[in-house]
Amino acid sequence: MNEQREIKISVPVLTRVEGEGALDLAIRNGRIEQLQLRIFEPPRLFEKFLEGRSYAEVLDIVARICGICPVAYQMSASHAIESVFNTEPGPWVRAMRRLFYCGEWIESHALHIHLLAAPDFLDFKSAIEMAEKYPQEVRRGLRLQALGNRIVRTFGGRSVHPVGARIGGFFHAPAKSIMSELLAECRDLLPEAESLVRWVAGFDLPVDEQEFVSVALHHPEEYPFNEGRIIASDGLDIAIAEYHNHFREIHVPHSTALHGRYFPNGYTKEDEGIPYLVGPLARVNLNREQLPLAVRDNLAAAGITFPSRNMFHSIVARAAEIHFALLEAIDLLEHYESCNTPYVDVTPRAGIGYGCTEAPRGILWHRYELDEQGQLVSATITPPTSQNQARIEQDLKRSLEAFGLDHCDEELKLHGEKVIRNYDPCISCATHFLKLKVARE
Amino acid sequence: MKSKVAVHKFSSCDGCQLAFLNAGEALITLSGLVDIVHFAEAGFLDEATEVDIAFVEGSVSTPQELERIKHVRASSRFLITIGACATAGGLQALRNMHDAGAWIDGIYAQPQYIELLADSTPIREHVKVDLELWGCPVNTRQVLTAVRSLLFGVPPVEEVDKVCLECKRQQTVCVLVAKGEPCMGPVTRTGCGAICPQVGRDCYACYGPAESANTASLANRFEGLGLQPEAIARRFLFINNYVEPFNAEGRKWQEKKS
């Protein structure tokens, strides 16, 4: 005799993520039969209205894809367009782009750790509630976030949709006196970044070892921001222009984001590909040896070892990257010289260019085709969250089963949200929030 | 009893909500002054409770959003739009001049699953708006000033001056006069702090049109600088493309090209 039990639950929007999405769960006989991370952020069709625009307008447009990581969009686009024009902006611009990016990593990671993720591990609904019990820690997070924003603002006038970057470099070079003040502030917060890593490493993080492929940029001489080759934990090592040979976005019906899939042996239509991970954990897993000794020692003292197969070590990786970005910013600021030519002039020409840089949430890949006036013929933009979406679904399925489907719906929902938030999904980027619907049979 | 505040999101990049999340200590202070009832990104989820002040980010671009904005209006005493999307339809309103359906067919393999209205439109087209805060994005000063004013029981002051006036106050060198850059400052609303001319570049009108903006005269000046009609059109049909007088001016120059 078959006992049929059907329970339907609808839980409203998932909080503390960027954007809008929902989670649909169908459970039958104690197993997850169907699981969909549904993204219903409306598509905003950026790739289409880039067509016909001049190269000079691109950075102000692509920034608007995401309020949290506009710098990443500007950097990937700059590199892609400059590669078409054969532009080499030189060492000053290269260094300052790293500094600009340090600001965005610090701001985005600090926001995610304190305002979005930490309440999950300390049992609060929001950071504002958490601030009553952990005032020092929340204040430290807000200070780090403010510092990251200040670095971005130094170049861009504001931290959201900054206006300072241009193809070929920057519109202006900050005065040395401003950079000295910034340096003092970075040094001041360095001990805070060190203790942040130990704080998050001390959370009661679930132990959840799993198999996944990490994908990140890799540069022979440094921890990656703007340049490098795309590598994977299974040994893949390709130029960014070869991305589409191994990575494709597939449109799944339940989402307005496109799902990223990895094809280890090369893309074929017949193959479905496999999920993969981008972002802080993937980056640290693949580039840990390029982290400064101080960051590695601090992690060792905190008792966390990378590479790690525990997805919940993402928050530790994120904190370690704040520590790294602060050290990197200090180094760059110590060697700062102002510059009369903060950009190089470009000569438009026709061609196809690729840009791939490490956004706070992972690799952000752009491809542009330009005509001889430097106007866009076509644009393809692959944000980190759409690449991670298949991986999030895969993780959710096994995590919820491991957690135990006999838990009540509220507990399942909380655990599911915790798993999702751990990826720091930016659904605004992937196009953007969560409603949980559980159907039990 | 503390006033209740909600922050709602529609079609957007989340950048205007950051005016709150990037406020630092002020965010903690704010949470002491008011009850934040709904603000999903910050962890508060309650769209049903009536609030005194509702901030709305994002444009209306799906059938669901069209329904939701009516509920938001019904449960809010004072509704404030934040940013170019909510106030002017946003950059994504560029699709209003095109066949968005054909675009979606070009991007998505299974377009039948994408539900989208033909146009991306500002909140005011659907419900009564009590105050509009312009900017792409709005900044912390703008949103906190609005809350503070309302808590004092006075209407928030609207900024309608042109970016030019802000440049003069700061003694920033005019990029239009000195460098011949096609600066939108003469027709653009202030509030940003004139950050573009400060870094030596032309304003691109992300704060929308200023009061009595003479767009025709500025467009003619751009032509004098050597800009092609289509480049002039693109200056107006940008972040705030859907709003007048930018839309009409942009279309006028678009037609000149053909």
SS (HEC) of B97-125: HCCHHHHHHHHCCCHHHCCCCCCCECHHH
Q: B125: buried, middle or exposed (CB in 10 Å: 19+, 13-18, 0-12)?
A: middle
What does the alpha-carbon distance between residue B196 and residue B44 come to, in Å, rounded to a whole number? 35
pLDDT value of position A8: 42
A48 close to B98: Cβ distance less than 8 angstroms: yes
Average pLDDT, chain A: 90
E-assigned strands of B40-119? 51-57, 76-82
A405 closest CA partner among A120, A38, A27: A27
Q: Among positive and negative, which fits the CA dihedral B231, B213, B19, A181?
A: positive
B110: nearest CB among A65, A172, A253: A253
Q: How many other C-beta atoms can be found within 10 angstroms of the C-beta atom of residue B109?
A: 12
pLDDT value of position A31: 83
Q: Is the pLDDT of residue A5 over 50?
A: no
pLDDT band (50, 70, 90) for residue A253? low
Report chain B residues whose CB lies below 8 A from the CB of A254: 113
pLDDT value of position A411: 86
pLDDT band (50, 70, 90) for residue A29? confident
Q: Is the pLDDT of residue B169 over 90?
A: yes
pLDDT value of position A245: 97
Residue B119: closest C-alpha in chain A:
A44
- The strand pairing partners of A28, in sequence order, are A31
Q: Is the pLDDT of residue A39 over 70?
A: no
Q: Tell me the average pLDDT across B98-104.
A: 75
Q: Tell me the average pLDDT across A310-317.
A: 96
Q: Does B43 contact chain A (CB < 8 Å)?
A: yes
- Report the Cα A216 to chain-centroid distance in Å: 11
A307 close to A291: Cβ distance less than 8 angstroms: no
pTM: 0.94
A131 closest CA partner among B46, B36, B14, B1: B36
Q: A147: left (phi > 0), else alpha (psi -120 to 50), else beta?
A: alpha
Report chain A residues whose CB lies below 8 A from the CB of B15: 64, 66-68, 70, 160-161
A376 close to A62: Cβ distance less than 8 angstroms: no
Q: What is the pLDDT of residues B172-203, one digit of tens each?
A: 999 999 999 999 999 999 999 999 999 999 99
Q: Tell me the average pLDDT across B152-175.
A: 94
User: In which residue are the tokens 């037609």 written?
Assistant: B255
What does the alpha-carbon distance between residue B254 and residue B24 come to, in Å, rounded to a whole number? 44
E-assigned strands of A169-245? 169-170, 215-218, 229-232, 237-238
Q: What residues 248-287 of chain A have any CB closer than 8 A to a CB of chain B?
A: 250-254, 256, 258
Q: What residues 113-132 of chain A have any CB closer than 8 A to a CB of chain B?
A: 115-116, 119, 125-129, 131
Question: For residues A26 and B209, which has the higher predicted lDDT (pLDDT)?
Answer: B209
**The token pair that represents B180 in the structure block:** 């011949």
What does the alpha-carbon distance between residue B54 and residue B27 come to, in Å, rounded to a whole number? 16
Q: Using DSSP, state whether B44 is helix, strand or coil.
A: strand
A276 close to A212: Cβ distance less than 8 angstroms: yes
What does the alpha-carbon distance between residue A299 and residue A293 come to, in Å, rounded to a whole number? 10
**The token pair that represents B8 in the structure block:** 């709602």
A328 close to A98: Cβ distance less than 8 angstroms: yes
pLDDT band (50, 70, 90) for residue A46? confident
**The token pair that represents A115 in the structure block:** 């305002």
Residue B25 CB partners (closer than 8 Å, separation 6+): A139, A142
What does the alpha-carbon distance between residue A41 and residue A162 come to, in Å, rounded to a whole number? 24
Q: Does B22 contact chain A (CB < 8 Å)?
A: yes
The continuous run of DSSP H or E covering A223 comes out as none
Q: Does B104 contact chain A (CB < 8 Å)?
A: yes
pLDDT value of position A186: 98
Q: Does B17 contact chain A (CB < 8 Å)?
A: yes
Q: How many other C-beta atoms can be found within 10 angstroms of the C-beta atom of residue B254?
A: 17
Q: Tell me the average pLDDT across A186-202.
A: 98
Widest CA span in chain A: 82
Tell me how close the Cα of A213 comes to any Cα of chain B, in angstroms: 26
Q: Does B178 contact chain A (CB < 8 Å)?
A: no
Q: Tell me the average pLDDT across A420-431.
A: 72
Q: What is the pLDDT of residues A67-115, one digit of tens each?
A: 999 999 999 999 999 999 999 999 999 999 999 999 999 999 999 999 9
Task: List the single best residue of A38, A58, A64 to mutate versus B (max B Cβ within 10 A).
Answer: A64
Tell me how close the Cα of A3 comes to any Cα of chain B, in angstroms: 34
Residue A302 CB partners (closer than 8 Å, separation 6+): A197, A198, A201, A202, A316
Would you list the DSSP string of A252-320?
-TTBSSEEEEE-TT---TT---B--B-SHHHHHHHHGGGS-HHHHHHHHHHT--SS--BGGGHHHHHHH
Q: What percent of chain B has pLDDT over 70?
A: 96
A85 close to A91: Cβ distance less than 8 angstroms: no
pLDDT value of position A13: 56
What does the alpha-carbon distance between residue A245 and residue A267 come to, in Å, rounded to a whole number? 5
Residue B117: closest C-alpha in chain A:
A42
A290 close to A358: Cβ distance less than 8 angstroms: no
B227 close to B253: Cβ distance less than 8 angstroms: no
B92: nearest CB among A44, A160, A166: A44
Would you list the DSSP string of A24-37?
EEEEETTEEEEEEE
pLDDT value of position A277: 98
Q: What is the pLDDT of residues A136-150, one digit of tens each?
A: 999 999 999 999 999
Q: Does A56 contact chain B (CB < 8 Å)?
A: no
**The token pair that represents A52 in the structure block:** 């016909």
pLDDT band (50, 70, 90) for residue A10? very low
Q: Is the pLDDT of residue A242 over 80?
A: yes
What does the alpha-carbon distance between residue A120 and residue A374 come to, in Å, rounded to a whole number? 47
Q: Is the pLDDT of residue B77 over 80?
A: yes
pLDDT value of position A333: 98
pLDDT value of position A17: 65
Average pLDDT, chain B: 93
**The token pair that represents B170 in the structure block:** 């700061």
Residue B240: closest C-alpha in chain A:
A61
> How many Cα atoms occupy the beta-carbon half-sphere of A44 within 13 Å?
31
> Residue length, chain A?
441
Q: What is the pLDDT of residues B13-59, one digit of tens each?
A: 999 999 999 999 899 999 999 999 999 888 888 889 999 999 999 99
Task: Please tell me what DSSP assigns to residue A344.
Answer: -
pLDDT value of position A16: 64
A190 closest CA partner among A326, A332, A324: A326
**The token pair that represents A156 in the structure block:** 């861009």
